[in-house]
Copies of this chain bind each other. A is one copy, B any other.
Amino acid sequence: MSSRRKFIQTTALSVAAAGVGSLKGLAATTLDAEKKKEKVALKEGIAGYTFKNFSVDQSIAMMKRTKVDALSIKDFHLPLDSTPEKIKEVMEKFRSNGITVYAAGVIYMKTEQEVERAFNYAKTAGLDLIVGVPTVELLPFTEKQVKNHNIRIAIHNHGPEDKLYPSPANVMSNIKGLDNRIGLCLDIGHSLRAGTDPVKAALDYAPRLFDLHIKDLVSSAKDAKPTELGRGVMDFYGLSKALRKIHYAGRYSIEFEMDMNDPLPGIAESFGYMRGVAESLA
C-alpha cells in the first residue's frame, strides 16, 4: 500500500501548504486511519493456480490491475525442470513488475527425486517457502531437505475426496514431531468441504500455519462449488479476526477457481471484499 501512503502524504503536505483549515482536519483523520490499518493489515497474495489458462505476462497484467503484489508461483509458469537461467529470468520478470514471488506451489511429490527437485528449484529461485504435497512416506526425506536447505514447506490440504491429506488435521497428525519448518498451507475451501471449520483450524494450528489458500464456496457441502469471496458461506470476518489473534505472519493467497478463462472481474471482486473486511479490523 505504499502508493496509498504516498497519496496521503502528498495530500497532507499540499493541504498544509495551502493552509486550508477544514481540509487539514480531514487529512489528519485519514492519516490516523491509515496508521491503524497498516498495523493490522494482513499481507495479500494470489495462488498461481488462479492463472492456469494465462501466460506469465497476462498474469502480471491481471495482478497489476488488481494491485496484488505477491504470488505463489505454479509450475505452468515456471516448469520444475527449468534451467537456472530460466528460473532467474522468470523471477526477474515478476520482480521488475513489482511482484514478490513468495512461494512455489502447489508442488506434488511422489518420489525422493521429485522432493529434491522441488527444493533445488526453490533454492535457485531464492524462495524460502514451498507449498507442497509430498506423500506421507516421503515426509522423513522431506524433513532432511528442509534441514539441508533451510527452506520451509507448507503442506496443502485437499478436500474429502483426497487420499493423502483430506483435511488440515491429516496434515498436522502426519507432521507431528517433524522439524518445525514443516507446516500447513490451510486451504479454507477444501477444509470446509471436509467438515473442518477453517477459523478453528487457523486457531488450532497457528504455530505451523505458513500459508493460506483463500476462497469462498456456495455451501459447505462436500461437492460445493466456488464463488466470488463474500458471496458464499465462508466467514471471512471471523477468519481475519482469528489471523490477527494468532499474529499470523504469512500471506493469505486468494485461489480463484471459477471463470478460469475470464477470472479478472472475480479476482477483483474477491480482493476488494477481503480489503473491505480488513478495513473494518483497522
A interface residues, Cβ below 8 angstroms from B: 4, 7-8, 10-11, 14-15, 20, 22-23, 25-27, 29-30, 33, 65-67, 192, 195-197, 218-221, 224, 228-233, 235-238, 264-282
Q: Are B10 and A219 in contact (CB under 8 A)?
A: yes
Q: Are B276 and A280 in contact (CB under 8 A)?
A: yes
Contacts of A15 in B (CB 8 A): 220-221
A220 to B8 alpha-carbon distance, docked (Å): 9
Output the nearest chain B residue to A234 by Cβ-Cβ distance: B30
A66 to B227 alpha-carbon distance, docked (Å): 12
Oligomer copy total: 2
Main DSSP-derived SS at the A contact region: helix
Contacts of A67 in B (CB 8 A): 228, 231
Query: What are 25 A-B pairs with beta-carbon distances under 8 A?
Result: A7-B219, A7-B233, A8-B233, A11-B220, A14-B219, A15-B221, A20-B195, A23-B220, A25-B197, A26-B197, A26-B220, A30-B233, A33-B238, A66-B269, A230-B279, A237-B282, A265-B265, A265-B267, A266-B268, A268-B269, A269-B269, A272-B273, A272-B276, A273-B275, A277-B280
Q: Are A192 and B273 in contact (CB under 8 A)?
A: no
Contacts of A30 in B (CB 8 A): 220, 233, 235
Instruction: With A7-B218, A220-B11, A279-B280 as known contacts, state yes or no: A228 contacts B265, CB within 8 Å.
Output: no
Q: Are A231 and B276 in contact (CB under 8 A)?
A: no
Q: Are B11 and A221 in contact (CB under 8 A)?
A: yes
Q: Are A236 and B8 in contact (CB under 8 A)?
A: no
Candidates B23, B233, B266, B275; contact of A195 at CB < 8 Å? B23
A270 to B67 alpha-carbon distance, docked (Å): 13
A196 to B25 alpha-carbon distance, docked (Å): 10
